[in-house]
């Protein structure tokens, strides 16, 4: 019951966004293929979107 009504701190969302963005950077660094590098950039973009939505 306690678990069901618990709320999530805003900082967890921001932390998730930071982790996703850093994984995008790592993917951009280790990938050789142009398309997968672009996918890593999309991952970074979505992470920043998540932080925007969190602050909104």
Partner 1 sequence: MHLILFVLFAGICLAGAINLLLQSHPINSALSLIVVMTSLAVLYLLLGAEFLAAAQIIVYSGAIMVLFTFVVMLLNAGREERTMGSGVARVVGFPAVVVILAVIATVILHAQGLGVASLSDPITTTEDLSKVLFHELLLPFEVTSVLILIAILGAVALARHGHGDPEAQGERTAGK
Provide the binding-site residues for partner 1, judged by CB under 8 A.
3-16, 18-20, 22-27, 29-33, 35-36, 38-40, 42-43, 46, 49-50, 53-54, 56
Q: Least Å distance between CB 7 and partner 1?
A: 4
Q: Which two tokens stand for residue 54?
A: 């969190």
Dmax over Cα atoms in the chain, in whole Å?
A: 49
20 contact partners, CB below 8 Å, separation of at least 6: 43, 44, 46, 47, 50
Nearest-approach distance from CB 50 to partner 1, in angstroms: 6
Residue 45 C-beta: closest distance to partner 1, Å? 9
């Amino acid at each position: 019951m306690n678990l069901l009504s618990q709320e999530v701190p805003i900082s967890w969302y921001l932390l998730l966004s930071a982790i996703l963005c850093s994984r995008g950077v790592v993917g951009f660094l280790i990938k050789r293929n142009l398309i997968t590098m672009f996918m890593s950039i999309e991952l970074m973009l979505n992470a920043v979107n998540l932080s925007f939505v969190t602050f909104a």
